[in-house]
Structure 1
Amino acid sequence: MLIVIEGVVLPDRRKFRPSDWAEMLIEGVGLAHFGPNHKIHYEDDVEPATIDGCASIIFDEALEQSHPEAYAELLHFATKNNLNIFMKEGAISHPDGLAAGRLAAEREHHTNQVLVDCDPHLPVEDKKG
């Protein structure tokens, strides 16, 4: 399952600012680095995305095991800022440059969302929103 933090503030769905918050947060929690080609590289389980014109973050729930501190910080940030959080089927695949999770998230308009339990000490569970 993928966890999506959509860059809209609930309940009014205002666009979250600044527009590059997703990239800055991913880098800030240690899930990105600059490679030898001077391009930013993201850990395999996370990527920035654009959903309905809003910066967002998509990450695999496996991130809780591989990078527990970063996982907790991403969810804490989203909760503290009232960002929309939901789960969706899919996978992140970086090698070919296209991400299944990003494509699925961008194509679907989110009306019935599933919220995530944001307590980092509990397993992630689906909650109807």
Structure 2
Amino acid sequence: MADSTKPKIVAREFFIQGVTSDGRQFRPSDWAERLCGVMSCFRPEGTGGPGAHLRYSPYVRPTVLGGVKSVVVNEALREIEPLAFHFVVDFAKDNDLQIVDACLLPETNEKLA
């Protein structure tokens, strides 16, 4: 049974979107998968094991937001490997990609009418 008195730790994340600051789509089209593939070795301790190199890191993972290829970056990567974190951020800056803070909505059991 979960302890409801413990505060939930909220992940701090941001998105790197595959759109430059002037609105152009970033190329190559598989940039997000390539970047996440390079970062796949960075993961929580004890979650490696056989085949770990075939999965994306939970700290840097590809996604699509509003039809735009993007990468979700968890700021916990900064604690685990600061150089890897700076590599990802510098990649976005060097390629003039938009960086957007994630907006997490609270979980609810209510259904919307």
- State the TM-score bracket (shorter-chain normalisation): 0.5 to 0.7
Percent of pairs with identical residues: 32
**Aligned pair partner of 1:9 in 15, 20, 41:** 20
The answer to whether the 8 A contact 1:31-1:46 is kept is no
Q: CA deviation at 1:86?
A: 1.4
Task: Give 3-state SS (helix, strand or coil) of 2:99's partner.
Answer: strand
TM-score (norm 2): 0.66
**Could you list the per-position Cα deviations for residues 81-104 of structure 1 after superposition, in whole angstroms to 9, with x for gaps in the alignment?**
11000112339xxxxxxxxxxxxx
1:53 counterpart = 2:67: yes
Structure showing greater Rg: 2
TM-score (norm 1): 0.58
Output the amino acid matched with 1:44: P
Structure 1 residue ranges without an equivalent (≥5): 92-129
Could you tell me how far apart the structure 2 residues matched to 1:6 and 1:23 are? Answer: 13
Could you tell me how far apart the structure 2 residues matched to 1:40 and 1:54 are? Answer: 24
Could you tell me how far apart the structure 2 residues matched to 1:84 and 1:31 are? Answer: 25
- Give the direction of change, closer, same or farther, for the CA distance of 1:31–1:4 in structure 2 (3 Å limit): farther
The answer to whether the 8 A contact 2:39-2:56 is kept is no
Q: CA deviation at 1:30?
A: 4.6
2:98 corresponds to: 84
1:44 counterpart = 2:54: no
Q: CA deviation at 1:26?
A: 1.8
Output the amino acid matched with 2:63: A
Higher strand proportion (structure 1 or 2): 1
Q: CA deviation at 1:40?
A: 3.1
RMSD over equivalenced CA pairs, Å? 2.5
How is 1:12-31 mapped onto 2 (pairs within 5 angstroms)? 13-31=23-41
- Give the direction of change, closer, same or farther, for the CA distance of 1:27–1:39 in structure 2 (3 Å limit): closer
| Residue correspondences, number | 88
Could you tell me how far apart the structure 1 residues matched to 2:30 and 2:63 are? Answer: 11
Structure 2 residue ranges without an equivalent (≥5): 1-11, 43-47, 106-113
